Amino acid sequence: MNYRSNQSQARRASALALEMRTLIGRLKRKLRDQAGGEDFTSSQVAVVLRLENEGPATVSSLARAEAMRPQSMSAAIAQLEAAGLVSGAPDPNDRRQTLLSLTPKCRALLEKRRAAKQDWLSGTIQARLSAAEQAKLSEALEILARLVED
Protein backbone atom coordinates (compact mmCIF):
# COMPACT_ATOMS: atom_id res chain seq x y z
CA MET A 1 0.00 0.00 0.00
CA ASN A 2 1.84 3.10 -1.18
CA TYR A 3 1.57 6.75 -0.21
CA ARG A 4 -0.61 7.82 -3.12
CA SER A 5 -3.23 5.13 -2.58
CA ASN A 6 -3.45 5.92 1.13
CA GLN A 7 -4.00 9.53 0.19
CA SER A 8 -6.81 8.76 -2.21
CA GLN A 9 -8.39 6.36 0.26
CA ALA A 10 -8.40 9.09 2.84
CA ARG A 11 -10.04 11.49 0.39
CA ARG A 12 -12.73 8.95 -0.47
CA ALA A 13 -13.45 8.33 3.18
CA SER A 14 -13.67 12.08 3.83
CA ALA A 15 -16.09 12.55 0.97
CA LEU A 16 -18.25 9.70 2.26
CA ALA A 17 -18.15 11.15 5.73
CA LEU A 18 -19.31 14.54 4.44
CA GLU A 19 -22.21 13.02 2.56
CA MET A 20 -23.15 10.93 5.56
CA ARG A 21 -23.15 13.86 7.95
CA THR A 22 -25.48 15.90 5.80
CA LEU A 23 -27.73 12.93 5.15
CA ILE A 24 -27.96 11.95 8.81
CA GLY A 25 -28.86 15.50 9.76
CA ARG A 26 -31.55 15.66 7.11
CA LEU A 27 -33.01 12.27 7.99
CA LYS A 28 -32.96 13.11 11.67
CA ARG A 29 -34.91 16.33 11.13
CA LYS A 30 -37.26 14.70 8.64
CA LEU A 31 -38.10 11.90 11.03
CA ARG A 32 -38.70 14.35 13.84
CA ASP A 33 -41.01 16.51 11.73
CA GLN A 34 -42.97 13.54 10.49
CA ALA A 35 -43.46 12.36 14.04
CA GLY A 36 -44.64 15.80 15.19
CA GLY A 37 -47.89 16.40 17.05
CA GLU A 38 -49.86 13.42 18.28
CA ASP A 39 -47.20 10.96 17.22
CA PHE A 40 -43.94 9.75 18.72
CA THR A 41 -40.25 10.47 18.46
CA SER A 42 -37.94 8.45 16.34
CA SER A 43 -36.50 6.79 19.45
CA GLN A 44 -39.95 5.88 20.67
CA VAL A 45 -40.90 4.37 17.34
CA ALA A 46 -37.67 2.38 17.37
CA VAL A 47 -38.50 1.06 20.84
CA VAL A 48 -42.02 0.02 19.91
CA LEU A 49 -40.85 -1.76 16.79
CA ARG A 50 -38.06 -3.42 18.73
CA LEU A 51 -40.46 -4.69 21.37
CA GLU A 52 -42.70 -5.98 18.61
CA ASN A 53 -39.86 -7.79 16.85
CA GLU A 54 -37.89 -9.06 19.80
CA GLY A 55 -40.43 -9.36 22.59
CA PRO A 56 -40.37 -7.96 26.15
CA ALA A 57 -37.29 -6.11 27.36
CA THR A 58 -36.13 -3.88 30.20
CA VAL A 59 -35.42 -0.16 30.09
CA SER A 60 -31.71 -0.80 30.46
CA SER A 61 -31.50 -3.36 27.69
CA LEU A 62 -33.42 -1.06 25.36
CA ALA A 63 -31.10 1.79 26.27
CA ARG A 64 -28.10 -0.37 25.43
CA ALA A 65 -29.64 -1.44 22.13
CA GLU A 66 -30.16 2.18 21.08
CA ALA A 67 -26.91 3.35 22.66
CA MET A 68 -28.48 5.90 24.93
CA ARG A 69 -28.63 6.48 28.69
CA PRO A 70 -31.14 4.51 30.75
CA GLN A 71 -32.53 7.81 32.09
CA SER A 72 -33.24 9.05 28.57
CA MET A 73 -34.83 5.77 27.58
CA SER A 74 -36.87 5.81 30.75
CA ALA A 75 -38.29 9.21 29.89
CA ALA A 76 -39.19 8.08 26.38
CA ILE A 77 -40.91 4.99 27.72
CA ALA A 78 -42.78 6.96 30.38
CA GLN A 79 -44.56 8.78 27.57
CA LEU A 80 -45.37 5.52 25.84
CA GLU A 81 -46.77 4.17 29.10
CA ALA A 82 -48.79 7.32 29.65
CA ALA A 83 -50.26 6.81 26.18
CA GLY A 84 -51.16 3.25 27.13
CA LEU A 85 -48.98 1.68 24.45
CA VAL A 86 -46.42 -0.03 26.65
CA SER A 87 -46.84 -1.65 30.04
CA GLY A 88 -44.33 -2.97 32.52
CA ALA A 89 -44.49 -5.93 34.86
CA PRO A 90 -41.92 -6.78 37.51
CA ASP A 91 -39.63 -9.66 36.61
CA PRO A 92 -40.23 -12.40 39.20
CA ASN A 93 -36.68 -13.73 38.78
CA ASP A 94 -34.89 -10.43 39.29
CA ARG A 95 -36.88 -7.87 41.18
CA ARG A 96 -34.64 -5.03 40.12
CA GLN A 97 -36.01 -5.37 36.62
CA THR A 98 -39.27 -4.39 34.98
CA LEU A 99 -40.11 -6.21 31.79
CA LEU A 100 -41.81 -3.98 29.24
CA SER A 101 -44.16 -5.18 26.54
CA LEU A 102 -46.62 -3.77 24.03
CA THR A 103 -50.24 -3.44 25.03
CA PRO A 104 -53.05 -4.78 22.81
CA LYS A 105 -53.90 -1.13 22.12
CA CYS A 106 -50.41 -0.61 20.72
CA ARG A 107 -50.59 -3.68 18.51
CA ALA A 108 -53.95 -2.53 17.18
CA LEU A 109 -52.51 0.90 16.48
CA LEU A 110 -49.57 -0.61 14.61
CA GLU A 111 -51.97 -2.67 12.47
CA LYS A 112 -54.06 0.36 11.71
CA ARG A 113 -51.11 2.56 10.83
CA ARG A 114 -49.65 -0.13 8.60
CA ALA A 115 -52.92 -0.61 6.78
CA ALA A 116 -53.17 3.14 6.28
CA LYS A 117 -49.46 3.33 5.31
CA GLN A 118 -49.01 6.08 7.86
CA ASP A 119 -45.34 5.48 8.59
CA TRP A 120 -43.43 8.04 6.59
CA LEU A 121 -40.12 6.20 6.42
CA SER A 122 -41.34 2.78 5.35
CA GLY A 123 -43.91 4.42 3.07
CA THR A 124 -41.25 6.48 1.33
CA ILE A 125 -38.93 3.50 1.03
CA GLN A 126 -41.68 1.60 -0.75
CA ALA A 127 -42.75 4.51 -2.88
CA ARG A 128 -39.38 5.77 -4.03
CA LEU A 129 -37.01 2.80 -4.02
CA SER A 130 -37.10 -0.20 -6.32
CA ALA A 131 -36.67 -3.70 -4.92
CA ALA A 132 -33.06 -3.70 -6.14
CA GLU A 133 -32.38 -0.38 -4.44
CA GLN A 134 -33.91 -1.63 -1.22
CA ALA A 135 -31.61 -4.63 -1.39
CA LYS A 136 -28.60 -2.33 -1.80
CA LEU A 137 -29.80 -0.25 1.11
CA SER A 138 -30.14 -3.34 3.24
CA GLU A 139 -26.55 -4.36 2.49
CA ALA A 140 -25.35 -0.87 3.30
CA LEU A 141 -27.17 -0.86 6.64
CA GLU A 142 -25.25 -3.96 7.68
CA ILE A 143 -22.04 -2.22 6.73
CA LEU A 144 -23.04 0.93 8.58
CA ALA A 145 -23.93 -1.00 11.71
CA ARG A 146 -20.24 -1.84 12.04
CA LEU A 147 -19.36 1.85 12.26
CA VAL A 148 -21.28 2.30 15.51
CA GLU A 149 -20.25 -0.97 17.13
CA ASP A 150 -18.78 -0.93 20.66
Residues that bind DNA (CB under 7 A): 25, 29, 32, 35, 41-43, 58-61, 68-72, 74-78, 88, 94-98
Q: Hey, CA dihedral for 133, 137, 138, 140, is it positive or negative?
A: positive
Closest CB to its own copies among residues 53, 93: 53
Closest CB to DNA among residues 82, 131: 82
Counted residue by residue, the chain has a size of 150
Binding mask 94-133 for its own copies (x = CB under 8 A): --------------------x----x-xxxxxx-xx-x-x
Binding mask 3-42 for its own copies (x = CB under 8 A): ------xx-xxx-xxxxxxxxxxxxxxxx----------x
**Residue 130: how many CB atoms within 10 A of its CB?**
8
56 binds its own copies, rule: CB under 8 A: no
16 binds, among DNA, its own copies, none (CB under 5 to 8 A by kind): its own copies
